[in-house]
Structure 1
Amino acid sequence: MMRFATILLAAVCVMAGGADQRVAAQVALPQVQLPGAIRTVPSLPDIDTQPLISAGDRLPGVRLDRIASLVRRNRDSIELDERGEPAVRGVLVANGVDSAMIARAAKDGFALIDRERIEGLDLDIARFHVPEGRNLARARKQLAKLLPDAEVDVDNIYFVSGPGGALPQSALAAAAPAATASLGLIDGGVAAHPSVAGRVEQRGFARGAPAASRHGTAVASLLAGTGTVRGAAAGQHIVSADVYGTDPAGGNASAIARALGWLVQKGIAVTTISLVGPDNKLLAAAIARAQQRGMLIVAAVGNDGPAAPPAYPASYRGVLAVTGVDAKGRALPEAGRALHVDFAAPGDAVLAATGVASTDRLRGTSFAAPLVAGRLALLYPAPAIDRIAPAISSLVMEARDMGKPGRDKIYGHGLICGSCGGR
């Protein structure tokens, strides 16, 4: 597990010049630890196209209201875990289990739902029903104690970190012809906007998926759009995994894990995940295993403000966390901080595709992340451990320093693609 981190650190150490110190903390990030747990899938509430709020002290309330609204509207499929985070109702997921463990769990009332192997990640998981009369929090603790050698968790749900909304099914981009692609996207489905039409391969990992979405379309256009909306890696092909579809419990950790496995199988080098939620053992395991196979993951820090809990997957070590800035280079007040921030990119009044024939100026860290991912994909077109350090070093050198000299906690290494997003 430590081999990936060791290789990266060694690669950084052989680089010469002042960039070494700027890159070292960044490239040494994937210290791989493999947890394991899994669940089902969710669909998120729309987030308004306007800034979440301008007053930082209200942001935590906005986040809590969003979670409460999601649970209230979907009580039959979503409930809260012990941290107050949304998760798939009545389901626990574990990895590292064998038949004897499953039999032991069954004796204590944890009936097996199914077992699954996530190809690409070589991750074996088992899903269990929560026994009747036990809440999710209590059941998770009991199963974890019952199976101390396994990784047990709930199936947390992750929100898009920017304006959302479904589009008509007829808007879905048609299947693209087979082509080599380095860019992966985990989000909602992508619509057939001219900026990306004919260059998106899609697959669904939730009920009703793939289904066109405003958010997924916007992120895809900022990754590789051409024409009206020009992405950071204009003209590139995209492999897109829809983890939401029409499922009220879409966007869960298990759906994201399956999507990562598929993208690894497709040979994707750089994947954008503009979704936010809590730390989760299954998600952490999936991220780590994808990293071990050479994938670089770029994630938004979210829009819940610096006082919110750390956002994941952006906060995982090895994930490139991206914040958003406005036209004057100021960090968005609603931007989260994650446990680390690596780069900044335009995140206000960003021009993006939002449907088959529509474009809008959008705001949110969701739309900064693909600008960084697109630039990175041009430097890192195929997964190869020995090419990670040079690629990230080049990206760091491309960044325009902002804030305090050198890397800082607000802008990371600096601004990428400052003229992107219709600026």
Structure 2
Amino acid sequence: MGKHRNGAASKRRGPAFGLLVAAAALVVSFAAARAQSIMSRGPNVNNINVGPRIAPTVTPSVSPNVGPRMPTVNLGPSLAPNVRYSPNLNYQDPSARGQGTSASGGPPDQSGNGRGTSRRSKKNVVVDSDRRFVPRELVIEVEGNPTDAEADAIARRHRLTRVQSQSFPLIGSTMYRWRIPDNRSVNAVVRELVADNVIKSAQPNYRFTLQQAAAEGDPAQYALAKLRLPQAHTLAHGDNITVAVIDSGIDVSHPELAGVIGGTFDALGSKEGPHTHGTGIAGVIAAHARLMGTAPSASLLAIRAFGVAGGGAESTSFVLLRSIDYAVSHGARIINMSFAGPEDPLIGKSLAAAAAKGVILVAASGNAGPKSPPLYPAADRNVIAVSATDAADRLFPASNRGGHIAIAAPGVDILTAAPDAKYQVTSGTSFAAAYISGLVALMIERNPALTADEVRGILSKTAQDLGPPGRDDQFGAGRADAFGAVTAVGAPVATATGPAPAGGPAQPTER
């Protein structure tokens, strides 16, 4: 009976039940074999997880610049890298090339993403450029008078080679001209230097060029009548007023300059002979033989800061700093700067210090034309910027324009001295600036207590208006009137009795 029951159950379960039983048997058999294998081998130590994986580099990577990355500073409008400061300036908006300042006001960071950075008052970082400054050179400012050991330590930290150094009492700092001995860019090294708390400022060694144009035209000294200089010379000649001429080499033996050279300084330490530009500027200011200068009795400091380069003459930030410092320390009351270049924070600092000591600063506006951005030092707020006019009172076409232009003076076809006792006819805002420097010497002789603001005000008030009515960006207040300005300085009182040039004010005479 039991046998019957088992057979019946088997029939009821069917083939599926048999397959299930067989599978279970296989699983049990495999498990037993696996257990036996594991027991015979022991634990697999290689698969033990002992904690987080540690990378081979056990210390954080340190960049060559071990100091913290400091914020960059934009101390003024950024100039495009391809700006040139010789007579023809080729300006391109930096935004058109994805370079220059970022939207937030700072230069692009090293990755080129243009993120802005914060502002620090004493540091300066500029956009790199091969054309605006000397390749692989820097001018570094350190406060006070550091020792050679301290300077050498800075050089080692930043991998630089010291070329030249000088203390500048005018601004209370020591300046170093250093060379980058490797392939780092000027901009990259400046960014590194501004992170060093020992360094007060760092910048490229900018290039500056003399502002002279091609010479041609009428050799007559038409400027004398335009400025009414003969009449002005009845009141003053610039006696004992020291005018520093920071320029190329001046022929101090020229007959036109006999007795007016009060001192010489070669900031370049060069062996070059006299140059046409510097000699011409000195002649415009103080000629007194065949020609008539603006201030024929002034005392000139002949400062060579520009050396011959290509078809012109060039200087740098460091050399100009030396020149300004020399001029101030040797009693210059007026500094003539017939050159132009980029905005230079260190030169701006020196000019501000000179102005604070009562020095009158005069500069050529530049010969880069109407599309040029402002050039310096003319655009500096402490400087009287001068544009140039011709014999018909038209603006010299290459003359720079802008809201910083203070006054205009003749600067086209100017007859002046040249090296080797010769003469030249030349053009440029350089010579217009020289006329104003000489005129200021006449004003200072008349009233030695005049301030720079008073000089600027008198020049503007007495100028002959040209161009659109009132002050404009081409002529400033207008063409200077030497007699009107010297008369306006102070007593003796003058009355109008004589004729004046067409369109000019009445010609006063003394009584």
The corresponding residue for 1:324 is: 388
Structure-to-structure mapping, 1:243-322, within 5 angstroms = 243-245=305-307, 251-322=315-386
Q: What is the letter of the counterpart of residue 235 of structure 1?
A: S
Q: 1:201-249: CA deviations, max 9, x gaps?
A: 2210003157311000000010111132211112322111101246889
RMSD across aligned positions (CA) = 3.3
Equivalent position to 1:219, from 273, 281, 296: 281
Q: Following TM superposition, by how much is the alpha carbon of 1:187 offset from its aligned partner in structure 2, in angstroms?
A: 0.1
Q: Distance in 1 between matches of 2:402 and 2:151?
A: 35
The corresponding residue for 1:234 is: 296
Equivalent position to 1:109, from 150, 159, 164: 159
Q: Distance in 1 between matches of 2:453 and 2:183?
A: 51
SS class of match (2:472) = coil
TM-score, normalised on structure 2?
A: 0.59
SS class of match (1:223) = helix
Assess, with a 3 A threshold, how the Cα gap between structure 1 residues 315 and 389 changes in structure 2: closer, same or farther.
closer
SS class of match (1:183) = strand
Assess, with a 3 A threshold, how the Cα gap between structure 1 residues 382 and 363 changes in structure 2: closer, same or farther.
same
Is 1:86 equivalent to 2:147 in the alignment? no
Q: Following TM superposition, by how much is the alpha carbon of 1:380 offset from its aligned partner in structure 2, in angstroms?
A: 2.1
Is 1:152 equivalent to 2:202 in the alignment? yes
The corresponding residue for 1:13 is: none
SS class of match (1:368) = helix
The corresponding residue for 1:373 is: 437
Assess, with a 3 A threshold, how the Cα gap between structure 1 residues 258 and 60 changes in structure 2: closer, same or farther.
closer
Q: Distance in 2 between matches of 1:355 and 1:267?
A: 26
Q: Is the 8 A contact 1:298 1:373 kept in 2?
A: yes
Q: Is the 8 A contact 2:464 2:481 kept in 1?
A: no
Q: 1:255-290: CA deviations, max 9, x gaps?
A: 111111111111111111001111112211221111
SS class of match (2:405) = coil
Q: Distance in 2 between matches of 1:188 and 1:308?
A: 24
Equivalent position to 2:245, from 176, 179, 185: 185
Assess, with a 3 A threshold, how the Cα gap between structure 1 residues 356 and 205 changes in structure 2: closer, same or farther.
same
| Identity of matched residues, % | 25
Is 1:387 equivalent to 2:451 in the alignment? yes
Structure-to-structure mapping, 1:61-140, within 5 angstroms = 61=90, 82-97=128-143, 103=153, 106-140=156-190
Assess, with a 3 A threshold, how the Cα gap between structure 1 residues 203 and 247 changes in structure 2: closer, same or farther.
farther
Assess, with a 3 A threshold, how the Cα gap between structure 1 residues 275 and 217 changes in structure 2: closer, same or farther.
same
Is 1:356 equivalent to 2:420 in the alignment? yes
Q: What is the letter of the counterpart of residue 276 of structure 2?
A: R
Q: Distance in 1 between matches of 2:336 and 2:207?
A: 17
The corresponding residue for 2:256 is: 195
Q: Is the 8 A contact 2:141 2:199 kept in 1?
A: no
Q: Distance in 1 between matches of 2:439 and 2:469?
A: 23
Q: 1:338-379: CA deviations, max 9, x gaps?
A: 551000001111111122322222111111001011111111
Structure-to-structure mapping, 1:155-174, within 5 angstroms = 155-163=205-213
Q: What is the letter of the counterpart of residue 289 of structure 2?
A: G
The number of aligned residues is: 338
Q: Is the 8 A contact 1:121 1:290 kept in 2?
A: no
Assess, with a 3 A threshold, how the Cα gap between structure 1 residues 209 and 409 changes in structure 2: closer, same or farther.
farther
Mean Cα displacement is larger for which, 124-133 or 383-392? 383-392
Q: Distance in 2 between matches of 1:118 and 1:383?
A: 30
Assess, with a 3 A threshold, how the Cα gap between structure 1 residues 281 and 61 changes in structure 2: closer, same or farther.
closer
Q: Distance in 2 between matches of 1:291 and 1:383?
A: 17
Assess, with a 3 A threshold, how the Cα gap between structure 1 residues 122 and 252 changes in structure 2: closer, same or farther.
same
Q: Is the 8 A contact 2:407 2:459 kept in 1?
A: no
SS class of match (1:158) = strand
Q: What is the letter of the counterpart of residue 185 of structure 1?
A: V
Q: Distance in 2 between matches of 1:310 and 1:289?
A: 22
Q: Is the 8 A contact 2:439 2:482 kept in 1?
A: no
Q: Distance in 2 between matches of 1:369 and 1:145?
A: 40
The corresponding residue for 1:341 is: 405
Mean Cα displacement is larger for which, 180-189 or 119-128? 119-128
Q: Following TM superposition, by how much is the alpha carbon of 1:144 offset from its aligned partner in structure 2, in angstroms?
A: 2.4
Q: Which has the larger radius of gyration?
A: 2
SS class of match (2:283) = helix
What residue ranges of structure 2 are gaps of 5+ in the alignment?
1-74, 76-83, 93-125, 216-238, 484-500, 502-511
Q: Is the 8 A contact 1:254 1:282 kept in 2?
A: no
Mean Cα displacement is larger for which, 107-116 or 275-284? 107-116
Q: Is the 8 A contact 1:121 1:289 kept in 2?
A: yes
Q: Is the 8 A contact 1:91 1:128 kept in 2?
A: yes
Q: Following TM superposition, by how much is the alpha carbon of 1:386 offset from its aligned partner in structure 2, in angstroms?
A: 6.1
What residue ranges of structure 1 are gaps of 5+ in the alignment?
1-34, 36-43, 53-58, 64-79, 166-178
Assess, with a 3 A threshold, how the Cα gap between structure 1 residues 282 and 195 changes in structure 2: closer, same or farther.
same
Q: Distance in 1 between matches of 2:131 and 2:365?
A: 17
SS class of match (1:361) = strand
Q: Distance in 1 between matches of 2:449 and 2:204?
A: 31
Assess, with a 3 A threshold, how the Cα gap between structure 1 residues 245 and 61 changes in structure 2: closer, same or farther.
closer
Q: What is the letter of the counterpart of residue 306 of structure 1?
A: P
Mean Cα displacement is larger for which, 187-196 or 397-406? 397-406
Q: Is the 8 A contact 1:221 1:352 kept in 2?
A: yes
Mean Cα displacement is larger for which, 357-366 or 367-376? 357-366
Assess, with a 3 A threshold, how the Cα gap between structure 1 residues 209 and 123 changes in structure 2: closer, same or farther.
farther
Q: Following TM superposition, by how much is the alpha carbon of 1:252 offset from its aligned partner in structure 2, in angstroms?
A: 0.9
